[in-house]
Amino acid sequence: MELVIDANIFEGYYQENVLGIKVTGLTASPLEIFSNLGDQDFIYFDEGGHILQEWKNLVEPEWFDAWYPKLLAEGGAYEIPTETCYLLRRTLWGLGFPRGKDFWHIRTALSILSEHEETVSS
């Protein structure tokens, strides 16, 4: 499964997996989400590093700098180019979607869909 994961979920994973702290602010443990990375599941990040920086800001930078390259090398994560999606952004804002950094998740998810459409139609 192709995944775009919010930084709060990643922070919960870090707290449970690295620090051994039981996470209470999430609906469930995030450990299962990360357990199949590289085998069945794959995390996608925008090529510009916006989502990645959000993640890194919430954990110990030295740990992250060791963990992330290993994840890439093992095929558990990919960085892909994204489009600006200006019209979609305006439409979502008109519907009440908050302005801000969360739109990077939508842009990245749309890029995953586009990538798979090209693969299927080829």
- Tens digits of residue pLDDT in 23-42: 888 999 999 999 999 989 99
Phi, psi (5° rounding) for residue 52?
-60, -40
Range from 8-12, 26-30, 100-104, 108-112 carrying the lowest mean pLDDT: 100-104
Spatial distance between the Cα atoms of 92 and 94, rounded to a whole number of angstroms: 5
Provide the pLDDT confidence category of residue 72 given band limits of 50, 70 and 90: very high
* Contacts for 115 with CB less than 8 Å, ≥ 6 apart: 80
Which structural domain range is residue 49 located in?
Answer: 2-121
Does 81 have pLDDT greater than 70?
yes
Tally the domains of the chain: 1
pLDDT at 103: 85
